[in-house]
C-alpha cells in the first residue's frame, strides 16, 4: 500500500480548509442532496464529499456508507488532492498503490474510485467529491464531465457558507457565523468539561465625534486586527453589529477574562501611539454555563443585555 504524499502547499492548504470553519459541522440537506444526485445519476452505491484534514479525511456528506471519517494515510482522497483532474482507479485490487489497502481488503471493499478535487479560492485542494463502487468499472467521458460539474457545485456551496458567515468589512465571523461555530464549540466544551468565557465588547465611537477626518470603517478594521492578534487559534471572534463584537475564549475561566481585556487595551493603546486612530471600548464577560446557556443564542442575549446595562450606567447609551 502507498500512503498519499503531502501536497507541496500543505500548510496553506490546511489554513484554507480551516478558514471555511466546516470541519465537524452537522450534516446539511444541500450537501446531502448533491451526493444523492451524484449517486443516482452516475449509478454508483456510494457518493461522498470528503475534506482532507491533517490526519483524517472527514465526510461532510456520505451517501451509501455509515462512517463519518477515515484515517488520511489510507484514504483515496489523500491521493486525489495531489492532482488537478479527476483521480480514477478502475480496479483498486489490481493497483499496487491500493491492493492491500484496508479499505480494499476489508469493508467497504472498494474496487472503483473516482474523485473530483475540490479547490479553495487560492487553488489549494480541500478534498473531493468522490464516487465508489464495490465492482470494477470505467467512467465514460460524459460521466467524467458530470462528476466535474457536480464538484464545481460543491465548491460553490462550500464558499457560500464562508461568505454567508463572514463580516464583509473585517473578514471575521458575523453574527450568523458566531451562532453556527459558537454552538459547535459549546458542545465540545461540554463534552470535554473545559471552561469557556465570552467577552462582549462595544467600541465607543463617540470618541471621534469632533474629528471630521476620521474614517470609521478604518477604526473598526483596526480594532478587529488588534483583537485578532491578541487571540489564540482556538478562540472565536465575531462582529455582532456595527460597533459590537464578541470573543469566545476556549479553556478559559471568567477569572482569566480581566487579564485578556487588559492585554487587549494595551494592544489598542500601542496602535494609537503608532499614529493609528484606536477607539476605546467597553467590555463585559460571562463564563459559559451549558446548563443555563442551552444555546449560543441565549448566551448572546445575556451578554448583550449586560453590555447595554453597563453602557447605561456609564451614560454611554
**All domains of the chain in start order, with CATH:** 10-164 (3.30.450.40), 175-313 (3.30.70.270)
pLDDT band of residue 209 (cuts 50, 70, 90) is low
Judge whether 34 and 61 are in contact, CB under 8 Å: yes
Looking at per-residue pLDDT, the higher value among 213 and 36 belongs to 36
How far, CA to CA in Å, does 42 sit from each of 32, 130, 274?
A: 15, 11, 60
The DSSP string of the chain is --PPPPPTTHHHHHHHHHHTT-TTPPP-HHHHHHHHHHHHHTT-SEEEEEEE-SSEEEEEEEES---SEEEGGG-SHHHHTTSSS-EEES-GGG-TTTTT-HHHHSTT---EEEEEEEEPTTS-EEEEEEEEESS-----HHHHHHHHHHHHHHHHHHHHHHHHTB-TTT-SB-HHHHHHHHHHHHHHHHHHT--EEEEEEEE-GGGGTT-TT--HHHHHHHHHHHHHHHS-TT-EEEE-SSSEEEEEEET--GGGHHHHHHHHHHHHHHHHHTT--PPPEEEEEEE--TTT--SHHHHHHHHHHHHHHHHHHTT--
* pLDDT above 70 (res 55): yes
Looking at per-residue pLDDT, the higher value among 20 and 46 belongs to 46
Give the per-residue pLDDT at 163.
Answer: 84
Give the per-residue pLDDT at 275.
Answer: 67
pLDDT band of residue 187 (cuts 50, 70, 90) is confident
pLDDT band of residue 310 (cuts 50, 70, 90) is very high
pLDDT mean across residues, the chain = 91
Rounded Cα gap, residues 19 and 162, in angstroms? 8
* pLDDT above 90 (res 280): no
* pLDDT above 80 (res 128): yes
Give the per-residue pLDDT at 212.
Answer: 65
Give the per-residue pLDDT at 185.
Answer: 86
Q: What is the pLDDT of residues 218-258, one digit of tens each?
A: 889 999 999 999 998 789 999 999 999 999 999 999 999 99
Give the per-residue pLDDT at 317.
Answer: 63
Q: What is the pLDDT of residues 143-156, one digit of tens each?
A: 999 999 999 999 99
93 CB-contact burial (10 Å; exposed 0-12 / middle 13-18 / buried 19+): middle
How far, CA to CA in Å, does 37 sit from each of 58, 84, 130?
A: 20, 23, 12
Give the per-residue pLDDT at 88.
Answer: 98
* pLDDT above 90 (res 260): yes
Looking at per-residue pLDDT, the higher value among 122 and 86 belongs to 86
pTM for the model stands at 0.68
Among 18-22, 77-81, 103-107, 281-285, which is the least confidently predicted range? Answer: 18-22
Amino acid at each position: 500500500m502507498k500512503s498519499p504524499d503531502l501536497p507541496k502547499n500543505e500548510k496553506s492548504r490546511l489554513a484554507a480548509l480551516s478558514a471555511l470553519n466546516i470541519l465537524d459541522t452537522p450534516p446539511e440537506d444541500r450537501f446531502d442532496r448533491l451526493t444523492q444526485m451524484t449517486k443516482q445519476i452516475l449509478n454508483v452505491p456510494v457518493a461522498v464529499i470528503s475534506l482532507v484534514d491533517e490526519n483524517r479525511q472527514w465526510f461532510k456528506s456520505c451517501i451509501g456508507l455509515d462512517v463519518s471519517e477515515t484515517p488520511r494515510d489510507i484514504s483515496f482522497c489523500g491521493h486525489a488532492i495531489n492532482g488537478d483532474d479527476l483521480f480514477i482507479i478502475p480496479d483498486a485490487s489490481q493497483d499496487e498503490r491500493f491492493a492491500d489497502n484496508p479499505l480494499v481488503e476489508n469493508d467497504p471493499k472498494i474496487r472503483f474510485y473516482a474523485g473530483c478535487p475540490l479547490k479553495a479560492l487560492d487553488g489549494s485542494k480541500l478534498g473531493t467529491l468522490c464516487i465508489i463502487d464495490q465492482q470494477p468499472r470505467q467512467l465514460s467521458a460524459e460521466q467524467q464531465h458530470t462528476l466535474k460539474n457536480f464538484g464545481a457545485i460543491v465548491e460553490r456551496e462550500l464558499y457560500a457558507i464562508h461568505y454567508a458567515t463572514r463580516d464583509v468589512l473585517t473578514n471575521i465571523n458575523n453574527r450568523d457565523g458566531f451562532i453556527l461555530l459558537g454552538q459547535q464549540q459549546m458542545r465540545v466544551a461540554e463534552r470535554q468539561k473545559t471552561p469557556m468565557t465570552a467577552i462582549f465588547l462595544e467600541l465607543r465611537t463617540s470618541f471621534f465625534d469632533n474629528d471630521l477626518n476620521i474614517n470609521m470603517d478604518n477604526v473598526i478594521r483596526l480594532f478587529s486586527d488588534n483583537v485578532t492578534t491578541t487571540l489564540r487559534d482556538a478562540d472565536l471572534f465575531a462582529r455582532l453589529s456595527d460597533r459590537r463584537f464578541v470573543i469566545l475564549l476556549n479553556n478559559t475561566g471568567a477569572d482569566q477574562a480581566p487579564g485578556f481585556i487588559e492585554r487587549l487595551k494595551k494592544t489598542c493603546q500601542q496602535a494609537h501611539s503608532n499614529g493609528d486612530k484606536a477607539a476605546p471600548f467597553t467590555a463585559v464577560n460571562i463564563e459559559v454555563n451549558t446548563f443555563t446557556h442551552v444555546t449560543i443564542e441565549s448566551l448572546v442575549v445575556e451578554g448583550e443585555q449586560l453590555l447595554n446595562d453597563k453602557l447605561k450606567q456609564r451614560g454611554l447609551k
